[in-house]
Amino acid sequence: MKNQKSFIKHFLSSIQIAVCYLLLIISLTPSVLVYAQTTTPAPTTDNTQKATDLNKKIQDLEGKISDLKSQEGSLASQIGVFDSQIKLTEYRINANQQEIQTLTKNIGTAGGKMKNLESSLSDVSKVLINRIVATYEVGGVAAIHVLASSNDISDLFARANYLRLVQAHDKRLMYNAQQAKNDYANQKNILEDKKTKIETLKTQLESYNKELDQQKDSKQKLLSETQGSEGNYQAILAATKAQLAGFSNFTASQGGASLLSGQTTCDDWGCYYNQRDSQWGGNALNGTPYTLASDGCLVTSMAMVYTHYGHKGVTPQSINSVSSNFSGIPAALLKFSISANGISSQRGSADIDSTLASGNPVVVGISYDGGSYPDHFVVFVSGSGGNYTMNDPFTPNGHNISFRGRYPSVRIVQNYRISF
């Protein structure tokens, strides 16, 4: 009888403890679950409106630039293009910076909430473990002892029903706690994605800033070259078009600027490059509508000369990637003073035979159609008296081939020695 009373006292004590645990868990559960499912805060209405306004300005400027480019070429329209491009890039930079700021703020806010959530989940997990142990210890008491401790049959059913309800609540709470943990993991993945996006945006921002600098520099160069004169602009425009037309006509006469592979050859002299090489042939010539394959004969010839003087890291793309190497309208003509991989060089007029006799190559411009502009450039590597060996940047595998054997009737109109 004494043991039975002790058991009943212990049983009632367990019930009281279980009720306390249950109340504690119920009080904690709603805040945890709501917290777990709280999404990363959305941008404020103010930020959203700013982003919308910027995107509208960007779209309007893109349309304006397209219209300006379609107009007849004039200094005013070209300056308008530059001004619009500069403003467009500035808008893109602002939009990029705003998105970075919004993401950074969201990450900071959500990161703090996730830290609190992690602590809450840990506390609830401990409570659950103790709670379930207590519940199932009570549930495991022999039925005869439960019957003996009950005042009557109604009390017995009430206790049994309570145990079932508590155990069912425990199962729901375990499921909800697991769901909360899953929500936490999902939020963590979302934040990691946002961090990755920020890095991408930072890289894009750096690219935009470089683009902005180039656009401002191009505008300044145009104003400097033309001295703000429409007459000067038209003269430069005409000369540029004539030179580029000569390159394009030569390319067309030779069957077109199809890309080639396996063209590069290096030896004791230096490296042979082909302007149509698939490594760079499809690249735009200084961002213009022209390509290295169609109009990059001088760029490619200069790259070959660089390698002759020991700068074998220089390729046609090395020269093409430096915007300041070019002039003209559009800026697709190689200047006389250029830089590649940080190494500067200058082209100067020279006598072909004496220059070759001193062991130096000569960059030669040839007129294929009999006009005064060179239609194509090659590199003479040796020879004299009209009998020259050349590296031709257009002819497939045009390494150390006969100049007159390839071009028997063309006229030499320009010849340059390169100094460093």
Say what the pLDDT of residue 221 is. 83
Q: Position of tokens 């090395």?
A: 318
Is the model's pLDDT at 403 over the cut of 90? yes
Cα–Cα distance, 25 to 22 (Å, whole number) = 5
Residue pLDDT, tens place only, 121-138: 666 666 666 666 665 555
Q: Is the pLDDT of residue 362 over 90?
A: yes
Q: Is 151 helix (H, G, I), strand (E, B) or coil?
A: coil
Greater pLDDT, 338 or 178: 338
| CB of 373 closer than 8 Å to CB of 366 | no
Least reliable range by pLDDT among 157-166, 262-271, 390-399: 157-166
- Spatial neighbors of 255 by CB under 8 A, at least 6 apart, are none
The per-residue pLDDT for range 200-237, each reduced to its tens digit, is 889 889 988 988 888 898 888 888 888 989 999 999 99
Q: What is the pLDDT of residue 27?
A: 42
Q: Residue 70 — pLDDT band, cuts 50, 70, 90?
A: low
Alpha carbon distance 330, 117 (integer Å): 59
Is residue 22 over pLDDT 50? no
Task: Give 65's Cβ-side CA count (13 Å radius).
Answer: 15
146-176 pLDDT, tens digit each: 555 556 666 656 666 766 776 676 677 666 6
Higher pLDDT: 117 or 293? It is: 293
pLDDT on residue 58: 79
pLDDT digit string, tens, across residues 175-207: 666 666 676 677 677 778 888 888 888 988 998
Q: What is the pLDDT of residue 23?
A: 41
Q: What pTM value is reported for the model?
A: 0.60
> Per-residue pLDDT averaged across 6-35, rounded?
44
| Residue 186: predicted pLDDT | 73
The rounded distance, in Å, linking the Cα atoms of 291 and 273 is 15
> pLDDT band at 35, cuts 50/70/90?
very low
pLDDT of residue 57: 77
Whether 108 shows a pLDDT value over 90: the answer reads no
What are the distances in angstroms from CA 132 to CA 140, 143, 161, 336? 12, 19, 16, 85
Residue 330, preceding peptide bond in cis (omega within 30° of 0):
yes
Q: Read off the pLDDT band of 381 (50, 70, 90).
A: very high
pLDDT at 123: 62
Residue range 237-247, pLDDT digits in tens? 999 999 999 99
In the block, residue with structure tokens 């109109």:
413
Torsion on CA atoms 319, 323, 327, 331, rounded to nearest 10: 110
CA atoms of 266 and 274, how far apart (whole Å): 12
Taking 3-state DSSP, the helix, strand and coil percentages for the chain, each rounded to the nearest 5, stand at 65, 15, 25
Lowest mean pLDDT among 68-72, 304-308, 371-375: 68-72
pLDDT of residue 74: 85
